[in-house]
């Protein structure tokens, strides 16, 4: 049984590349969404449109599912590399195969789940226009609170992605030295 599991195991180096790709894609797309697309839509008057709630929710529905896919690849890859570390019996104080990387990835998963299944649907419901004859939508007061909470969690998510990227940098600088 032990022999069988070693012959079908995927090499951790492939997972490191997949984690790095997913992390960089997620980080850059989040920056693009948070600092280019959303401010552009806000300045373009999206919040004054009567259907901004359902439209925003539809856009974030797709984006949040892509985020879940990225964090799933990241967490899976980190768990595979962490398991490979146990087989090799080496000690990593820091770097992508450290315990910190896995804990950061679990925190990123929790943040993404809250954004996807709690905050985005609540914001979509708050922005839903119940008056089909309204020419402009009145933004509910709770929407500002939800936006603040959303962007606070987004900032934590970006910090977590940055921390994981810095752990990758530690690993890359170690391989260049040796």
Averaged pLDDT, 157-170:
92
Which of 108, 99, 92, 98 is closest to 161 using CA atoms? 108
CA distance 19 to 76: 8
Cα 129 to its chain centre, rounded Å, is: 29
Instruction: Give the other-Cβ count within 10 Å of 74's Cβ.
Output: 26
Residue 167 CB-density burial (10 A; 0-12 exposed, 13-18 middle, 19+ buried):
buried
Percent of the chain at pLDDT above 70? 76
Predicted local distance difference test score (pLDDT) of residue 4: 47
Q: How far apart are CA 85 and CA 90, in angstroms?
A: 6
C-alpha to C-alpha distance for 24 and 30, rounded to whole angstroms: 10
CA distance 34 to 46: 15
Comparing CA positions, the residue from 45, 35, 40, 60 lying closest to residue 124 is 60
Burial class (CB in 10 A: 0-12, 13-18, 19+), 71: buried
DSSP 8-state secondary structure symbol assigned to residue 48:
G
pLDDT value, residue 53? 74
Is the model's pLDDT at 161 over the cut of 80? yes
Q: What whole-number percentage of the chain has pLDDT above 90?
A: 41
Please give the pLDDT value at position 164.
Answer: 94
pLDDT band with cut points at 50, 70 and 90 for residue 103: very high
Q: Is 7's pLDDT higher than 50?
A: no
Per-residue model confidence (pLDDT) at position 90: 54
132 neighbors 108 (Cβ within 8 angstroms) = no
- For the chain, the domains span 13-177
pTM across the whole model: 0.82
Q: pLDDT tens across 18-66, in order?
A: 999 999 999 999 999 999 998 888 888 877 777 777 788 888 899 999 9
What pLDDT is recorded for position 86? 59
Check residue 45 and give left, alpha or beta (phi > 0: left; psi -120 to 50: alpha).
left
């Amino acid at each position: 049984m032990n022999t069988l599991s070693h012959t079908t195991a995927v090499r951790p180096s492939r997972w490191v590349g997949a984690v790095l790709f997913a992390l960089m894609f997620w980080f850059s797309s989040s920056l693009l969404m948070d600092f280019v697309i959303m401010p552009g839509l806000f300045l373009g008057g999206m919040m004054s449109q009567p259907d901004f709630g359902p439209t925003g929710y539809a856009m974030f529905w797709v984006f949040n599912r892509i985020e879940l896919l990225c964090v799933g690849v990241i967490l899976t890859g980190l768990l595979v590399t962490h398991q490979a570390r146990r087989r090799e019996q080496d000690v990593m104080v820091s770097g992508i195969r450290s315990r910190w990387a896995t804990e950061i990835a679990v925190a990123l998963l929790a943040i993404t789940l809250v954004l996807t299944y709690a905050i985005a649907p609540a914001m979509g419901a708050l922005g839903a226009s119940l008056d089909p004859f309204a020419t402009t939508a009145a933004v509910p007061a709770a929407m500002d609170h939800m936006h603040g909470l959303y962007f606070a969690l987004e900032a934590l998510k970006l910090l977590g992605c940055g921390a994981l990227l810095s752990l990758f940098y530690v690993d890359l600088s170690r391989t260049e030295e040796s």
